[in-house]
C-alpha cells in the first residue's frame, strides 16, 4: 500500500488517503466547508438585482376608463343580440305571459266520443279531470 501523504485542499494539512488519486480532503468536514466556501460567493450585482424590483403600476379609475368599458360592453351585447337567433334567446316575462294567455282552461279530448247528450269531452287544466260539455257552452 502506498504511504504517500496528500495535502488537504481546505485546511492544507497532510493526510493519508483511503482512496488514492480521488480523495482531495482529509475529512468530510473539510469537504463540506470547501463546498460552502466555493458556492457562497455571490456578486454584489446579483444582490442588488434581487432587492431592486420594479414596482408595478396600479391604474386608477378614471371617467375615460369607465366610458371605454361601457362602450365595449354595449358593443358586445348588441353584437351578441344580433347574432343570436330568436329561438335561442332566453324567455322573458312577456313571453311567459303570452304563453299563459294562450293556455286555456279546457282542452278538447279528441280520442273520446261524445256522451249520450252529445256533449264533447274536455280536459280541465285546473282540476285535472275530464268534463263533458256542449261545444257552445263556455
Task: Work out whether strand 14-15 and strand 106-108 pair parallel, antiparallel, or are unpaired.
Answer: unpaired
What's the whole-number mean pLDDT along residues 26-47? 82
CB 6 within 8 A of CB 15: yes
Query: Angle CA(99)–CA(105)–CA(110) in degrees, nearest 5?
Result: 100
Exposed/middle/buried for 45, CB within 10 Å: 0-12, 13-18, 19+?
A: exposed
Task: Give the pLDDT band of residue 98 (cuts 50, 70, 90).
Answer: confident
Residue 78 pLDDT greater than 90, yes or no: yes
* C-alpha to C-alpha distance for 134 and 106, rounded to whole angstroms: 12
Amino acid at each position: 500500500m502506498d504511504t504517500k501523504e496528500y495535502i488537504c485542499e481546505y485546511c492544507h494539512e497532510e493526510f493519508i488517503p483511503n482512496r488514492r488519486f480521488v480523495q482531495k480532503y482529509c475529512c468530510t468536514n473539510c469537504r463540506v466547508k470547501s463546498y460552502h466556501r466555493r458556492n457562497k460567493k455571490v456578486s454584489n450585482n446579483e444582490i442588488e438585482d434581487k432587492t431592486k424590483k420594479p414596482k408595478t403600476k396600479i391604474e386608477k379609475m378614471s371617467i375615460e376608463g369607465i366610458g371605454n368599458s361601457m362602450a365595449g360592453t354595449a358593443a358586445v351585447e348588441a353584437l351578441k343580440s344580433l347574432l343570436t337567433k330568436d329561438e335561442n334567446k332566453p324567455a322573458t316575462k312577456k313571453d311567459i305571459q303570452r304563453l299563459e294567455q294562450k293556455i286555456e282552461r279546457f282542452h278538447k279530448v279528441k280520442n273520446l266520443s261524445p256522451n249520450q247528450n252529445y256533449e264533447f269531452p274536455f280536459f280541465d287544466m285546473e282540476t285535472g279531470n275530464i268534463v263533458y260539455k256542449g261545444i257552445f257552452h263556455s
